[in-house]
Every structure is written in C-alpha cells, then in structure tokens.
Amino acid sequence: DQQYPDTPAPAATPAPTPAPELFTWEFATDPYPAYAWLREHAPVRRTRLPSGVEAWLVTRYADAKQALADQRLSKNPAHHDEPAHAKGKTGIPGERKAELMTHLLNIDPPDHTRLRRLVSKAFTPRRVAEFAPRVQELTDDLIDRFARTGSADLIHEFAFPLPIYAICDMLGVPREDQDDFRDWAGMMIRHGSQAAGGRSTSSAEGGGKRTGSPRGGVARSVKMMRGYLSELIHRKRESLPAEPGPGEDLISGLIRASDHGEHLTEKEAAAMAFILLFAGFETTVNLIGNGTYALLTHPGQRSRLQQSLARGERALLETGVEELLRYDGPVELATWRFATQPLTIGGQDIAPGDPVLVVLAAADRDPERFADPDTLDLARRDNQHLGYGHGIHYCLGAPLARLEGQTALATLLTRLPDLRLAVDPAELRWRGGLIMRGLRTLPVEFTPVP
C-alpha cells in the first residue's frame, strides 16, 4: 500500500468550534477560514456536496500533492461507485459518457499518455512565446474599447473575452466565428456553476434571475460547440495541405497528428479542442479577475508592482502572477478523482469507488508549507503552489495562462495607472461553482485615457 509519508506531523486536533458550513454565500465570498478549520481538524473529510454526492475533501498541502499524483485515484468517472439516489444527478462531467467528455481530464494512462503527447508540442514555452505579440494585441484592443470611458466591468469587458479569443486563435477558429464561441462560453459560465454539482447559487450568488434549467443551458451550448467543432474539423481535414506551414493552427495540427501511425479520430480531436477551450477559458478569466481584485485591495503590493513595471523589470510580475495563483487561484478544487482500490490519505481510509476532491485553495494556504500563507507577497520565492495541479494531469496550458495573466495585469496597471474599485468589496459577488473560484463582476474606475 502506497503511504503518504510527507503528511505533516501534527495530528488533527479536536475541534473547539463546530465544523463550518460549506457551500453557503459566506463561504463563496471567503472560503479560507473554513479551509483553515478543515486543515486543522478534519484534513481529509467526507462531505456531502449540494448535489447530494458525498466526496472526500483533502485540504493539507502534503496530502493534496500526493493525492494529485496517486495513480490509484482514477480520473475515469466509470470508477465512481455512484449511489442509486444520485444516478445522473451528480454533475460529474463525463458520468453520462457525453461525446466530448473523453478528454485528458477524464482519462487515465495509457490513453491519457497518448493523447497528451499529441497535443503537448503546441504548449511548450517556446511555442507559446511565439504567440505573445497576438496576446498583447488582443489585450490592447480590449482596453482601447473602454479606456476613454473612465469605467468598466473588468470581468465582462476584459477578463472574459481575452482568453476566449486567444484560445480560438490558437485552435484556428476563424475570427468571424469567435463571437459565437464567446456566447456559448458565456452560457457555460453562467449556468455551469449550477450544473457542476456546485453550491446552490440561490445562496451563493445572493439570488438573482435565472433563465431556463442550468443543465439545459450548459447542454445547449455544449451541443452548439460540438456541432461547430465537428464541422470545422471536417472542413480543415478536407483542405489540409500535405506539409504543415509555419504557424499552423492547433486543430490542423491535431488532425495531422499521428501516434504510431494512427490518426486521431475526429471525435478525439473534437474532445481535445473542447477541453482546451473549457480548461483554458474560465480559469484564465478568474486568474485575471481574482488577480486584479487582489492587487486593487493590496495597495502596497500593487504600487511595488507598478514601480517595477515602470522600470521595465519583469521579475516581480513573474513571481507576482505565481503568488496571485497561490493566494486566490482560479481552480479552488482539482477535478474529480475516484479511488480504484482501498487507500489511506492523511490517516483516513478511503474505499474503492469513493470520489476524492483535492482542495487546491486550502493546500496553497497551508502554514505547514508556506510562511505567512494568508499574506499576499508578490516577491515570494519559495512558492511551489498547486494552482496548476501536480503529476500527470499538471496543467497543460500553464505557459499560455502565465503569458495571458502577465500580459493582462501588466498592461492594465501600465495603461490605467490609477485603476480602482468602483464599489465596496463587500458588494462584489463570487460565482458559486464547485471547481472554480471567480468574481461575477469587477466594476472599476480610472482617469479616462485618449
């Protein structure tokens, strides 16, 4: 039996206060006190999620890191020992074997190894660096649209469109079709939190108007995207040149890709395009949103960063974006894992078929691993955070996410130097998704610039 030898020495201490309530409005706004309680008193805890499914929440850094790399925890939802009452209602992506769901985050080796190898060439730091001028251009274009007005909602007008256009460009979705993607992705974000088995949004989002059933909204957008991607792959396959040209787009590369002489099926290529959009979109929206919010509410850190950017330095920007990922990262919980055999994590026995959710946001504030974990320190050096995961499913898009995050934050702070929040932080609403953590809106003001 594989042990978890790095589990921090302190045993869970008896709790002086009752367990905090999870998945409430207060929790969505600031989950960190609840995570501190869990780390200390119940570091591996069986928890009933709003969907009714019970999952183990792993909150300490050492346990989290090992669980992410533990191959006895499968990504394949077929391993879920699903209770009869939850059949079809768990919100676990892939449980219903939808066509686009056979992707990297839902599969294990050897299929995972084969598919990841096919696509990883496109995401090397060097390939991504070639994309830097385009990301800068997109960033400037979006800022141009609101710079003269003196105010903006940075989520809708900036953080949301930037990654979707960037990924569409990389994939090779023609510019004239990219606004359709923007609409489908918007629908997925709006309804996704409800359909993802996450918190009840009526409490987590303070009420608000709903349109249609959440699952219906997500299903419709996924269906539109699937239809479009299949057709695009088909069209590109028909007109694919014999040899790859310079800067060939990713979908063409995927079509061309062969592994031991075997081409990717159109279905696999569509699922891959879908996961790249899906994994690379809301995450980056939240990196820009949560990151800007953290900077605006930590004026000392923000002005240090602005001064260093004004001197043309990049070091603080680079460590700073990593720190923003640790401090309030976009992915609150890593995606679903299921025990394939009996195992023990942090002294807790886990039965085969049980779902395990690794709470990255809790692990990245663990005082056993990080000095002053609740302090934002953009210059933090010892910062092996888990914001991009760990092990074989480590974020494939990390170099692209870093590029987008660094470009977005540096350009905002340089072009709009007196950027400030237009509302009291208490008025901001956080999205109620299970996996992701991000703001619904981020209203800002600044001196208009021509």
Instruction: Choose between 363 and 446: whose C-beta lies nearer to ligand HEM.
Output: 363
The interface region with ligand HEM, picked from 194-202, 300-308, 312-320, 327-335 by CB under 6 A, is: 327-335
Return the number of other C-beta atoms located less than 10 Å from residue 170's C-beta: 24
Question: Of these, 43, 214, 355, 387, which contacts ligand HEM (CB under 6 A)?
Answer: 387
Q: Tell me the residue ranges of DSSP E strands in 221-319.
A: 258-259, 262-263
Residue nearest to ligand HEM (CB): 397
Over the window 161 to 180, marking each residue x when it contacts ligand HEM by CB under 6 A and - when it does not, the resulting string is ------x-------------
Tell whether residue 334 is a contact of ligand HEM (CB under 6 A): yes
Tell whether residue 276 is a contact of ligand HEM (CB under 6 A): yes
Kindly provide the b/e burial profile for residues 60-75, where b requires at least 16 CB atoms within 10 angstroms of the residue's own CB: bbbbbbbbbebebbbb
Question: Of these, 172, 389, 432, 433, which contacts ligand HEM (CB under 6 A)?
Answer: 389
The interface region with ligand HEM, picked from 27-35, 172-180, 196-204, 282-290 by CB under 6 A, is: 282-290
* Residue 156, Ramachandran bin (φ over 0: left; ψ between -120 and 50: alpha; else beta): alpha
Tell whether residue 64 is a contact of ligand HEM (CB under 6 A): no
For 363, phi then psi, to 5°, come to: -60, -40
Tell whether residue 204 is a contact of ligand HEM (CB under 6 A): no
Spatial separation of the C-alpha atoms in residues 415 and 142, rounded to whole Å: 12
Tell whether residue 66 is a contact of ligand HEM (CB under 6 A): no
Spatial separation of the C-alpha atoms in residues 283 and 286, rounded to whole Å: 5
Spatial separation of the C-alpha atoms in residues 75 and 299, rounded to whole Å: 41
Tell whether residue 104 is a contact of ligand HEM (CB under 6 A): yes
Give the nearest distance from C-beta 325 to ligand HEM in angstroms.
6
Over the window 114 to 143, marking each residue x when it contacts ligand HEM by CB under 6 A and - when it does not, the resulting string is --x---------------------------
Instruction: Choose between 171 and 446: whose C-beta lies nearer to ligand HEM.
Output: 171
SS3 45: strand
| Helix orientation angle between 299-310 and 398-415, rounded to the nearest 10 degrees | 90
SS3 153: strand
Structure tokens that stand for 224 in this block: 């539109």
Spatial separation of the C-alpha atoms in residues 37 and 74, rounded to whole Å: 28
Give the nearest distance from C-beta 236 to ligand HEM in angstroms.
18
Give the angle 76-217-290 at the CA atoms, nearest 5°. 75
Give the nearest distance from C-beta 393 to ligand HEM in angstroms.
4
Tell whether residue 400 is a contact of ligand HEM (CB under 6 A): yes
Structure tokens that stand for 413 in this block: 């702070």
Question: Of these, 388, 407, 408, 442, which contacts ligand HEM (CB under 6 A)?
Answer: 388
Tell whether residue 77 is a contact of ligand HEM (CB under 6 A): no
Give the nearest distance from C-beta 268 to ligand HEM in angstroms.
13
Q: Tell me the residue ranges of DSSP E strands in 314-445.
A: 337-339, 343-345, 348-350, 355-358, 420-421, 443-445
Tell whether residue 93 is a contact of ligand HEM (CB under 6 A): no
The interface region with ligand HEM, picked from 134-142, 214-222, 385-393, 411-419 by CB under 6 A, is: 385-393
Q: Tell me the residue ranges of DSSP E strands in 194-306.
A: 258-259, 262-263
Q: Tell me the residue ranges of DSSP E strands in 93-232.
A: 151-153
Question: Of these, 187, 401, 412, 416, which contacts ligand HEM (CB under 6 A)?
Answer: 401
Residues that bind ligand HEM (CB under 6 A): 68, 104-105, 116, 167, 275-276, 279-280, 283-284, 287, 325, 329-331, 334-335, 387-389, 393, 395-397, 400-401, 405
